[in-house]
Amino acid sequence: NALRELGDDLAQERDTVRSLKNALSEQSNAHILLKTQFTALETKCDALSSEGQAQLSSKAKMTAELQAAKARAEELENELMEAESLRRKLHNQIQELKGNIRVFCRVRPALGHEQNSSDGLASINFPDKREHKEIVISSTTETAMGSTRDTILPFSFDRVFEPRSSQHEVFEEISHLVQSCIDGYNICIFAYGQTGSGKSFTMEGGQTEDTRGMIPRAVRHVFQVAQQLQKKGWSYTMEGQFLEIYNETIVDLLGKGNDGKHEIKHDKNGRTTVTDVVVYPLRSPDQVQNLLNLAQSRRTVHATLMNERSSRSHSVFTLRIIGTNDTSGEKSEGCLNLVDLAGSERLKESGASNHKDRLKETQAINKSLSALGDVIAALGEKGAAGDKHIPYRNSKLTYLLQNSLSGNSKTLMFVNVSPLASSLGESLCSLRFATKVNNTTLGTAKKQTAR
């Protein structure tokens, strides 16, 4: 029995040893697996640590690059402001080199019914095909002895536009002056010529895109440039008014009628205001077109022998542009006067002497145009000889435009010419007056700073 019990105990011990061996084998395998997993985790931890170090290094590099980029952006912004200031200065110098008073001549095309008129078309030639600065008038007159005499009269201006010239081509030449207004200078552009020579078409134009005149094109250009300059820190506000000078009386074309007395006031900063007139804040070119249409419907026109619908008044559209640059602290204020003068014509030619009201209108028109010529001549003499009295107060027109005609401004005159032979006498008067203006030298324009 004892032997049997020892056999059983031995068998039991063997089973225990076998179980322990199996357990040890399992534990060994588990240990190997855990060691493998630990090694993998350790490797992963090292990788994550390296990645973290790389990210920290990358972050530091990116921070340095960002700071460098910010510094460069600030540097470029300063360079941009300096470049803009330099552009304004150079632009103004270029305009001064061209002259602070310039004269452009524009000959309108003959209308359909004029092609076959009894008098025919005047002999007008444009020999300068390169720079477009010359116009030549040829005429044949009969002497007292009955013989004929051919006369050739050449005229030279800063730019001559032939009848085929488009509104776009004309505006391209004056857009630089409009830019000067945005830069803070006073600008005056006026159209001079006899009735029916195309002044109103030049300044106000038609209703289609191709026929729009200088006023709507100038306003659109101002809005476009103002939007572009926003990137350089500039912001602009614009306002406009539209006045008529009829028989030496100021009429507000955008007012509500029943005009009272309007007074012209000039302050020491070169700003001109007119009392009790409507001044519209301008927010879009389309708004200006609507105001133009309103003003055109209210302007004083009557028939004369020269034109069935003759403008019997001067119209003055004034656009004031006020700019501020929050980045540089600069401020500017420019004023653009776009003037459609009443038709310049002699009493005999217009037939006004036979009508009391037309006579009074024509006398007022001719007096103010004569005053304009006197002012421009006096300004030229002042520039050559120093101090000289300038007779601005001789007419409402010149007094209103005082700050835009003086040496502190840039002035452009359009002399508009009719192509008709019947208008040749008036055309020559206009061209001779324009020549006097073209020979005038104004002082240096001064930039206006907003108050």
Phi/psi class of residue 53: alpha, beta or left (left: φ > 0; alpha: ψ in -120 to 50)?
alpha
The span from the CA of 330 to the CA of 312, in Å, is 42
The span from the CA of 63 to the CA of 66, in Å, is 5
Say which residues have a Cβ less than 8 Å from residue 219's Cβ, sequence separation at least 6.
240, 282, 285, 288, 319
The span from the CA of 23 to the CA of 394, in Å, is 124
- DSSP for 41-53, please give it: HHHHHHHHHHHHH
Residue 344: C-alpha distances to residues 216, 273, 310 (Å): 24, 27, 11
Asked if residue 214 lies in contact with residue 170, where contact means CB atoms within 8 angstroms, the answer is yes
Q: Tell me the two tokens of residue 238.
A: 């614009």
Asked if residue 84 lies in contact with residue 230, where contact means CB atoms within 8 angstroms, the answer is no
- Coil, strand or helix at 87: helix
Burial 44-58 (b: 16+ CB within 10 A, else e): eeeeeeeeeeeeeee
Asked if residue 334 lies in contact with residue 229, where contact means CB atoms within 8 angstroms, the answer is no
Q: Tell me the two tokens of residue 264.
A: 């012209």
The span from the CA of 418 to the CA of 174, in Å, is 21
Convert 132-188 into a string of H (helix), E (strand) and C (coil).
CCEEEEEEEEECCCCCEEEEEEEEECCEEECCCCCHHHHHHHHHHHHHHHHCCCEEE
- Coil, strand or helix at 259: coil
Residue 29: C-alpha distances to residues 17, 25, 171, 395 (Å): 18, 6, 93, 115
Please tell me the predicted confidence (pLDDT) of residue 157: 95
Helix (H) or strand (E) segment spanning residue 106 = strand 101-107
Residue with the two structure tokens 């200065």: 89
Q: Tell me the two tokens of residue 362.
A: 């024509």
pLDDT averaged over 10-residue windows placed end to end, the chain, 451 residues: 83 89 90 91 91 89 90 78 65 57 92 78 92 92 76 94 95 89 88 90 90 91 90 90 91 79 87 91 88 81 44 86 89 90 65 66 87 85 69 92 78 92 91 88 61 53
Closest CA to 99 of 193, 203, 180: 180
The HSE-up count of residue 409 (CA atoms within 13 Å, CB side) is 23
Residue with the two structure tokens 């020269």: 306
Length of the chain: 451
The span from the CA of 55 to the CA of 61, in Å, is 9
Q: Where are the beta strands (DSSP E) in 223-358?
A: 234-246, 249-252, 264-266, 272-274, 280-282, 301-302, 310-311, 314-325, 331-340
Say which residues have a Cβ less than 8 Å from residue 366's Cβ, sequence separation at least 6.
344, 347
Phi, psi values for residue 190, rounded to 5°: -130, 150
The sheet with strand 148-156 has its strands ordered as: 123-125, 134-142, 148-156
Q: Tell me the two tokens of residue 94.
A: 């270029």
Angle at which helix 214-229 crosses helix 167-182, to 10 degrees, equals: 50
CB atoms < 10 A from the CB of 7, how many? 10
Please tell me the predicted confidence (pLDDT) of residue 344: 72
Pairing state between β 101-107 and 159-161: parallel
pTM: 0.73
Asked if residue 156 lies in contact with residue 439, where contact means CB atoms within 8 angstroms, the answer is no
Phi, psi values for residue 133, rounded to 5°: -120, 0
Please tell me the predicted confidence (pLDDT) of residue 442: 65
Say which residues have a Cβ less than 8 Å from residue 98's Cβ, sequence separation at least 6.
158
